[in-house]
Amino acid sequence: MTRQHRRTLLVFGALASYIMLQSIWWAYLLVRKDRELEGLIEAFQLRPQYPGTTEGHAYRTLLMVLSEGGVFLGLLLIALILTYRTIRKDLALAATQRDFLLAVTHELRTPIASAKLQLQTLGRSGPTAEQRKELITQAVDDLDRLGLLTDKVLTALRAADGKIPLRPRSTDVEELVRDRVERIFSGSVRSMGTLDHEVHVDPIALASILDNLIENAIKYGPSTGTVDVELEGDDRRWEVRVMDRGPGVDKDDRERIFSLFQRGGQEETRDSAGTGLGLFIARGLARRMGGDLHYRERPGGGAIFAATFPRA
């Protein structure tokens, strides 16, 4: 929580305390004034002129003030709690949006700066034809990165609304997993259990899940480490696990990282780039396919992201 957020909550707390204390003070004044009036009536022997006044008048007045004041304070307390929760939610949303803007800015800056450099170099008279071709290829690659980031944001928004269409069909899961691994990095896939090659899934959605998990493992794992992918199944379910030897995820962040635009830790202190979209998309697609995605600690250090699906 930033200093500005803490200041907002402090001001709200001060105002809420003032309102509560003022309410209690007014109740106290009403009871005291009533007792003073009772004392004057007794002192000047005016009670016969007030036939409605009895010995229990002060007690009834106190009971009335406490009951009506209690209802008022109860309603006020409920309103303050609801207002506090709303403020906390709005502050959390503002912090999330701020982190997302910082992350997207960081992600966009690199390919934009790189593409600009390639184009500036092309505008000079020095590069040869071969060099110009290489510069154009690099600029196109940078623009492709921008396109992928845009697609990821749109996919995340569709996943949040549950509007991603699925087209399940019979798919060789092991072949698909090996293909995604080979496309992204040089790793190995280990199959365990009795998983049949053909499973009824949406291959595009499954490929997107794998891409996000593998890229996430490469990003947060050690530069000299490896990423392991395991595929396991039985008669009721099948599971694909992507594992790394990185620092893992703090306990407080293990569910939060699956939320939209959320990443572990603070955006300003992270060493790795990212937008907080990958895990949200992966879990959203897994649940749309009838499965789920969870984080587990890896024995010996590291993270395991396991996507589990029922057998069709």
- pTM of the predicted model over 0.85: no
- The answer on 27 and 78 residing in a single domain is yes
Q: Are 231 and 67 in contact (CB under 8 A)?
A: no
pLDDT score of 263: 65
Structure tokens at 312: 């069709």
- The answer on 74 and 55 residing in a single domain is yes
- The answer on 185 and 77 residing in a single domain is no
Domain that residue 17 falls in? 3-97
C-alpha span between 231 and 308 (Å, rounded): 10
Q: Are 261 and 99 in contact (CB under 8 A)?
A: yes
* Among candidate residues 97, 125, 146, the one where a domain is terminated: 97
Q: Write the CATH number for 146.
A: 1.10.287.130
pLDDT score of 309: 92
For residue 294, list its beta bridge partners.
306
* Among candidate residues 97, 123, 148, the one where a domain is terminated: 97
pLDDT score of 269: 40
pLDDT tens track, the chain, 312 positions:
556 666 766 777 777 777 778 777 877 777 777 677 666 666 666 555 545 545 556 566 667 767 777 777 777 778 778 888 887 887 777 776 776 676 677 667 777 888 888 888 888 777 788 888 888 888 888 888 787 777 777 777 777 666 777 888 888 888 888 888 877 765 555 555 545 567 888 888 898 888 889 888 888 877 766 788 888 887 788 899 998 888 888 888 888 888 776 666 544 445 555 667 788 888 888 998 899 999 999 988 889 999 999 876
- The answer on 250 and 181 residing in a single domain is yes
- The answer on 9 and 77 residing in a single domain is yes
- The answer on 189 and 294 residing in a single domain is yes
- The answer on 198 and 148 residing in a single domain is no
Q: Which of 91, 100, 85 is nearest to 153 (CA)?
A: 100
- The answer on 297 and 180 residing in a single domain is yes
pLDDT score of 267: 45
* Among candidate residues 71, 97, 123, the one where a domain is terminated: 97
Q: What is the 3-state secondary structure (H, E, C) of the chain?
A: CCHHHHHHHHHHHHHHHHHHHHHHHHHHHHHHHHHHHHHHHHHCCCHHHCCCCCCCHHHHHHHHHHHHHHHHHHHHHHHHHHHHHHHHHHHHHHHHHHHHHHHHHHHHHHHHHHHHHHHHHHCCCCCCHHHHHHHHHHHHHHHHHHHHHHHHHHHHHHHHHCCCCCCCEEEEHHHHHHHHHHHHCCCEEEEEECCCCEEEECHHHHHHHHHHHHHHHHHHCCCCCCCEEEEEECCCEEEEEEEECCCCCCHHHCCHHHCCCCCCCCHHHCCCCCCCCHHHHHHHHHHHCCCEEEEEECCCCCEEEEEEEECC
Q: Which of 179, 11, 176 is nearest to 84 (CA)?
A: 11
Q: Are 265 and 253 in contact (CB under 8 A)?
A: yes
- The answer on 111 and 85 residing in a single domain is no
pLDDT score of 152: 74
**Chain centre distance of CA 186:** 31
Total tally of structural domains belonging to the chain: 3
- The answer on 254 and 213 residing in a single domain is yes
In what helix (H) or strand (E) does residue 309 lie, and over which residues does it extend? strand 303-310
C-alpha span between 185 and 226 (Å, rounded): 9
Instruction: Tell the burial category of 280 from Cβ atoms under 10 Å away from its Cβ (0-12, 13-18, 19+).
Output: buried
- Give the largest CA-CA distance in the chain: 115
- The answer on 222 and 185 residing in a single domain is yes
- The answer on 301 and 180 residing in a single domain is yes
